Chain A
């Protein structure tokens, strides 16, 4: 089966190298950086360093649960990547590789998948990994009691599974499932230990048990999570650089939300790896002997502001379109990323194989056009400059987390919107609170960015069944729903591409989302840390091969 060739550059397959894109090289040159990559070249070339040691990484967002079925936030997934394993994983070309499953085949109608599972693998609690565990994991995600959001979306048309024998499982889907491998390689669908879930019940999120190279040790809420090496680990991945146990015996993931604090901790040696270096600071970091910049263009959705198409005034198409013309994306990219990230025009990142370049033709920065659209639709400038229609003022509201860069971006947008007569109120609060408001549909603009290799991730944001979940824009379009469902069930890549092209155009024609920029993830590692390998999404590093230069 041909699952489609991703169009990104696969030359530098395994390491911390971004997809080479002209814009990125241009920005890198503009920043005066000779090279975007650090001194680490190929872990294969060097032997392992110390067979023990610790790495401490710091995330910029906190987590709420470590239950893969329930996890929503990025650092949760980062941690789970080392804790649980999935049936398959993707390589850089987007091809599925065996992980916990050794091979697989589909029925002719594509609705039944049979997986053969690896033998000799055990969970951290000693219980054996088998087909029962797989069935348990997947059925659990369908169970409303688990409250799975991401998992329920990724599991697609999964209906049930049948345990043929301990090493064989047969999964039934209600429809053929095209992105099955892309989605099944997400740690959210990592296989968990049934006995552990039964033992901990609702507290499983505090004691995750999987089969991964690292096991859970402790979680000091609000501060850090500690993982220790699983000494009975059986290597299941074909993408790693060595066999046997991971090099480092401890992985600590800390939650340091403030950008400057996190950066300071890296420079002070308190942490070894940090996510999300503010672009302005990354310039200096490139010349700092203590650390190096690790930059990746991960694939998925760009950083966007979902426009609420059911909440006034953005439920008026004219207003939604006016926003597209009113916002100067170059400026936003400058404020948020020092122009390291290229501007985005559609709901998918340009690095995703399903990207439709036609989205660029729909809008441009043109405040006059925005004003024209508004006036034509009956939005007349009121006494204080805010437009009014039928006695209602054009007042938008956006609740956001307390992240200074995000707030700066919103302030800039606020000014741009004001210039065309739209009033935007910015409410700053904790992340959980702002997401709750977004979920309830009370936000006019809601910010997200997301990773994923298959264009099916559009379902998570733009399918009407995701309303109340990640569809912050409350976007409901029957044709988009239909296309997304079809695209998920169509196996032929060319047909899928056609379908997703159409979806992207529809979404943008309805102005359901304001794409900002294709976020380039700028991370940083202390000098001496090597062997960091990114997965197929290019967002998550894996710790298995990580070691210190001795």
Chain B
């Protein structure tokens, strides 16, 4: 088991290194001279001296590998540079906006996993009945309905027409319920399908038939024998889901006019605030990789087969 964890850790570190290379290269893949592009942003005007000054200030005149090493070193220390446009430290901007996104993503994850687990198990048990079909329709909807559209439609229904909920922004459960539901539905669709498939598989297996033959009632079968193995793919999914949710947050934050990292990213791209974009993309990837690492390690507890590999 220790070797399993070590293996996973090593893999994660390698991926993170690759991520850092990729993020670093964003700035350098941009067509044109970055220093001139950035110089044009300011009102000082584009003079060769100013452009050269910027180039030197940002270390863009160093060889690439030196720049990469600087970037990596600083990133590990938490220094993601400064936004060229506002001169605000990138790390600080991201962490200022992070709680809002975390709130939204967390709520959506809870809704998605909770709803998805329930529907997945339920529909698997009642395989090929009306409930099953409805659940499949539900999940198809989640995969097909774009969140920015469902968000707008729900805003129209609940805020404009019915006036039940405030339109946007602010704090408190009333303002988070719509965006979290929209985002959570997207996640639930995924989870439902996955859980249903794996529960169906488990239900077909021998030990379940044995349990039934022994005369155990359905709920007991479910809880004792099915839930835990069925959770494994769900846990796997959490990594993937979080990634999807983070991506969805970008759109949902725009639709519902919420603060958050998503909005920050979009503004950064609009204003060609390259360092800010770099920082956000890096953070998202790091979270994703670390989360997957945690998931992989938690397998050892969930699935005994791995423990003894």
Which A residues form the contact surface with B (CB < 8 A)?
64-65, 70, 72, 147, 149, 206, 220-223, 258, 260-261, 264-265, 267-270, 402, 429-430, 432-433, 436
Closest Cβ neighbor of B159 among chain A residues: A264
- Greatest chain A CB density within 10 A among B88, B166, B169, B175 is at B169
User: A269 to chain B: closest CB distance in Å?
Assistant: 7
Interchain CA distance A260-B167 in the complex, whole Å? 10
For A436, the chain B residues whose CB sits under 8 A away are 40-41
- Give the 10 A-B residue pairs with the shortest CB-CB distance, closest first: A221-B86, A264-B168, A261-B257, A221-B88, A268-B170, A430-B271, A222-B86, A264-B167, A264-B257, A268-B169
| From B93, B168, B175, B270, contact of A430 by CB (8 A) | B270
| Category for how many chain B residues contact A | 20 to 34
User: A291 to chain B: closest CB distance in Å?
Assistant: 13
Say yes or no: is B205 at the interface (Cβ < 8 Å to chain A).
no
Closest Cβ neighbor of B257 among chain A residues: A261
For B96, the chain A residues whose CB sits under 8 A away are 220, 223
Interchain CA distance A265-B41 in the complex, whole Å? 29
Interchain CA distance A429-B170 in the complex, whole Å? 28
User: A218 to chain B: closest CB distance in Å?
Assistant: 11
Interchain CA distance A402-B271 in the complex, whole Å? 10
Knowing A220-B88, A267-B167, say if A402 contacts B44 (CB, 8 Å): no
Say yes or no: is B122 at the interface (Cβ < 8 Å to chain A).
no
Knowing A222-B88, A222-B267, A433-B41, say if A258 contacts B257 (CB, 8 Å): yes
Knowing A147-B43, A260-B257, say if A265 contacts B169 (CB, 8 Å): yes
For B272, the chain A residues whose CB sits under 8 A away are 430, 433
Contact status B270-A402, CB under 8 Å = yes
Closest Cβ neighbor of B37 among chain A residues: A433
Q: Per-residue CB proximity of B239-280 to A under 8 Å, as 1/0?
A: 000000000000000000100000000010011100000000
For A223, the chain B residues whose CB sits under 8 A away are 96
Say yes or no: is B83 at the interface (Cβ < 8 Å to chain A).
yes
User: A406 to chain B: closest CB distance in Å?
Assistant: 15
For A260, the chain B residues whose CB sits under 8 A away are 168, 257
For A147, the chain B residues whose CB sits under 8 A away are 43-44
User: B50 to chain A: closest CB distance in Å?
Assistant: 11
Interchain CA distance A72-B44 in the complex, whole Å? 12
Contact status A432-B41, CB under 8 Å = yes
User: A431 to chain B: closest CB distance in Å?
Assistant: 9
For A220, the chain B residues whose CB sits under 8 A away are 88, 96
For B41, the chain A residues whose CB sits under 8 A away are 432-433, 436
For B271, the chain A residues whose CB sits under 8 A away are 430, 432
Contact status B43-A64, CB under 8 Å = yes
User: A258 to chain B: closest CB distance in Å?
Assistant: 7
User: A283 to chain B: closest CB distance in Å?
Assistant: 14
Interchain CA distance A433-B39 in the complex, whole Å? 11
| From A64, A268, A429, A432, contact of B168 by CB (8 A) | A268
Interchain CA distance A436-B271 in the complex, whole Å? 13
Say yes or no: is B98 at the interface (Cβ < 8 Å to chain A).
no
User: B214 to chain A: closest CB distance in Å?
Assistant: 59
Interchain CA distance A261-B44 in the complex, whole Å? 31
Interchain CA distance A269-B174 in the complex, whole Å? 14
11 residue pairs from A and B, CB less than 8 Å apart: A222-B83, A222-B86, A222-B267, A260-B257, A264-B168, A265-B168, A265-B169, A430-B271, A432-B85, A432-B271, A433-B41
User: A114 to chain B: closest CB distance in Å?
Assistant: 35
User: B122 to chain A: closest CB distance in Å?
Assistant: 38
For B40, the chain A residues whose CB sits under 8 A away are 433, 436
- Greatest chain A CB density within 10 A among B44, B271, B272 is at B271
Say yes or no: is B309 at the interface (Cβ < 8 Å to chain A).
no
Closest Cβ neighbor of A261 among chain B residues: B257
For A149, the chain B residues whose CB sits under 8 A away are 43
Contact status A72-B257, CB under 8 Å = no
| From B42, B85, B169, B170, contact of A222 by CB (8 A) | B85
Contact status A221-B43, CB under 8 Å = no
Say yes or no: is B57 at the interface (Cβ < 8 Å to chain A).
no
For A65, the chain B residues whose CB sits under 8 A away are 43
Interchain CA distance A72-B45 in the complex, whole Å? 14
Interchain CA distance A432-B175 in the complex, whole Å? 33
| From B43, B166, B168, B170, contact of A72 by CB (8 A) | B43
User: B162 to chain A: closest CB distance in Å?
Assistant: 16
Interface residues of B in 172-219 (CB under 8 A from A): 175
Interchain CA distance A267-B169 in the complex, whole Å? 10
| From B43, B88, B169, B270, contact of A261 by CB (8 A) | B169
